[in-house]
Amino acid sequence: MAESPLTAASVTAALQDFRDPETGLSVIQQDQVRDIRVEGNRIALTLALTTHSAPLWKETQQACAQLLQTRFPQAAAVDVQLAVHERPALAIGQIGLKAKSVIAVGSGKGGVGKSTVAASIALGLKRAGCRVGLMDADVYGPSIPQLIGVHQRAEADENKRIRPIDFEGMPVISMGFFVPPGEAVVWRGPMLHGAIMQFLRDTNWGELDYLIIDMPPGTGDIALTLSQLLPLTGAVIVCTPQDVALLDAVKAIAMFRKVNIPVLGMVENMSYFLCPDNGKRYDIFGHGGAKKRATELDVPFLGEVPIQMQIRINGDEGRLAGNFTDDQSAQFFEAICHRLIKNLSASVSEKPKLPSLTVL
């Protein structure tokens, strides 16, 4: 094949099928490629991406440069700069929440690390550059305030809407911000529904790329409520490698599917223990069960997190964010965030779409 001539027009043509990771639509058609400059045999351009895709920015930038280098072998240099492309989050469902993706983190079993994983996914996406909110839907046993070490009271703003607690730039809401620690919440089902409604509809979340919801253990009550209130992007299932936990995870997957919440993937927590004394690895709850079960159930496997004393200590001491400053644990949570967003991006590239008003 003859070399394509190196002009701004041919660079535009070469990127015609290059997809935006958020929508799966052409970056050219969405006006996300700016300032194309061809100087001699050097190409320079600016690729504007949304904060929703922040975890994928680097690889998208590399893929764009790679494509141009392959298409124009005569180019001595390809310089792709990144910029932010503003694409507003529109209201989803009928409750007015402005979020592009709403992701529930759940499991069938208690104590497997849902809240740890949910808060870590929220923090990981936030650190990558996304606009993230974290909602603790465990109304009876809220643990997010403890994990992130925030014990403020949430209050209403001048418009009588709940003002979420700001945790390092991330809005967070939890029943723990309304009930004094140690006090029990004794409610009937309909009140539970009301609380979730208030957290979603009457809370001033601002505009979010992702709302991450920490689900309570057990029954499908909250999942059903959520599915009635807004179209969820999907659920992440957390489990440990034990057979009993896996069995519960299978039930949780069935439950989410029953209420039409797609399952985005499975995380195996407490996967193994690396002994700091002798470097030996112990598969305390067995290992690899979640990955195997995920394949059987046709659910993506998002990654594993080993048992680490520091993760437990960070949670107990309200320093969950420490999971990202410690190389030992950061890599696992970062990999899970990356795979989750990569999968979302792959699914839109199959069915490209602009965020739109969805009414249930």
Ligand X SMILES: Nc1ncnc2c1ncn2[C@@H]1O[C@H](COP(=O)(O)OP(=O)(O)OP(=O)(O)O)[C@@H](O)[C@H]1O
Q: Using CB distances below 5 to 8 A depending on partner kind, what does residue 60 bind out of ligand X, Mg ion, none?
A: none
Q: Which of 108, 164, 265, 315 binds ligand X (CB under 6 A)?
A: 315
Does position 240 bind Mg ion by CB under 5 A?
no
Closest to Mg ion by CB, 203 vs 269, is 269
Does position 233 bind Mg ion by CB under 5 A?
no
Residue type for position 319: R
Does position 112 bind ligand X by CB under 6 A?
yes
Cα 301 to Cα 339: distance, rounded to the nearest angstrom: 9
Closest to ligand X by CB, 50 vs 143, is 143
Ranges assigned E (strand) in 200-319: 208-214, 234-239, 263-274, 281-282, 301-307
Restricting to residues 140-179, name those near Mg ion by CB under 5 A. Answer: 143
CB 288 within 8 A of CB 296: no
Q: How far is the CB of 247 from ligand X (least distance, A)?
A: 16
Neighbours of 56 (CB within 10 A): 19
Restricting to residues 45-74, name those near ligand X by CB under 6 A. Answer: none
CB 312 within 8 A of CB 305: no
CB 173 within 8 A of CB 165: yes
Dihedral in degrees, nearest 10, Cα atoms 40, 42, 45, 47 = 160
**Structure tokens, 106:** 């759940």
Q: Report which residue's Cβ sits closest to ligand X.
A: 315
Q: How far is the CB of 135 from ligand X (least distance, A)?
A: 14
Residue type for position 148: I
Does position 265 bind ligand X by CB under 6 A?
no
Q: How far is the CB of 231 from ligand X (least distance, A)?
A: 24
Sketch the per residue contact string, 32 through 51, with Mg ion: x for CB under 5 A, - otherwise.
--------------------
301-307 and 263-274 beta bridge pairing: parallel
Does position 171 bind ligand X by CB under 6 A?
no
CB 301 within 8 A of CB 265: yes
Does position 120 bind Mg ion by CB under 5 A?
no
Residue numbers at the binding site for ligand X (CB under 6 A): 110-116, 138, 141, 143, 217, 269-270, 305, 307-308, 311-312, 315
Residue numbers at the binding site for Mg ion (CB under 5 A): 114-115, 143
